[in-house]
Amino acid sequence: MSDIYKAPEAELASREENTDFGSIEKGIAGDYTFSIGDAINEGWQLSKGKKRTVWLGILLYGIAIIAISVAAGLVTGALTAEGDTSITQELIYNLITTIVGLPLAAGFTMIGIKIARGEETSGTEVFAYFDKIVSLIAVNLLMWIFILIGFLLLVIPGIYLMIAYMFAIPLVVDQNLGPWQALEASRKAVTKNWFSFFGFMLLILLIVLAGFFAVLIGSIWALPLTCIAFGVAYRKVFGGPQGA
């Protein structure tokens, strides 16, 4: 007689063995498959029916950034100084807009990742990660310090790190890793297939630029495609939250 309370082992095992759905351990070990063409093609397929979700996220992100910029300008006096803005005012203004914009950017990234994983999401995802703001500040600060140092060291190390850290932010908000853990997990995983990810990010940039040059109309397809394709790449390497 079968045990109706027994966990569905076959289903769990099949998910663990699914090479299309990675994990932190698999990613760091390089135990994943990634193809630029596959990521772009799947991103295109998944974008059908999901463009509205991505564009709502873009719209809400844009409105939030404008609101933050206006509020920061009023607080610092940058909007009322009539051209006499001091360096201190400018620095505080830029600091506020950058810091508050980090969770919004992380949320937009997670829209593409959740679509790629077949999870429920909406445009309001952009507002979901303000509880991670301290970790996001730390990971961004460390990331850009290391990238800047890399560029000072004959440029090439900086280019390497820009690509190697591409998954650090979603690792903080999605996998709940600390800033240093996220940076190292992303770097170690991407390094296993660095040139493919370099080509992938370059192609994403070209698709976005092509969308804008096509009288902006091409962006209707280009932005959802690239957002979700990035999510596909993340899923293949790191999968979802541990224990999910």
Q: Compute the distance between CA of residue 162 and CA of residue 150 in angstroms, rounded to an integer.
A: 9
Query: 197-239 pLDDT, tens per residue?
Result: 999 999 999 999 988 877 667 788 899 999 999 999 999 999 9
Query: 84-119 pLDDT, tens per residue?
Result: 667 777 888 888 889 999 999 999 999 999 999 999
Query: 111-151 pLDDT, tens per residue?
Result: 999 999 999 999 999 999 999 999 999 999 999 999 999 99
Place of tokens 């609101």: 67
Report the chain's mean pLDDT, rounded to a whole number.
87
pLDDT: is 159 or 20 the higher one?
A: 159
Q: Do residues 54 and 227 touch, judged by C-beta distance below 8 A?
A: yes
Q: Compute the distance between CA of residue 37 and CA of residue 47 in angstroms, rounded to an integer.
A: 15
**Residue 211 pLDDT:** 82
H or E element at residue 104: helix 87-116
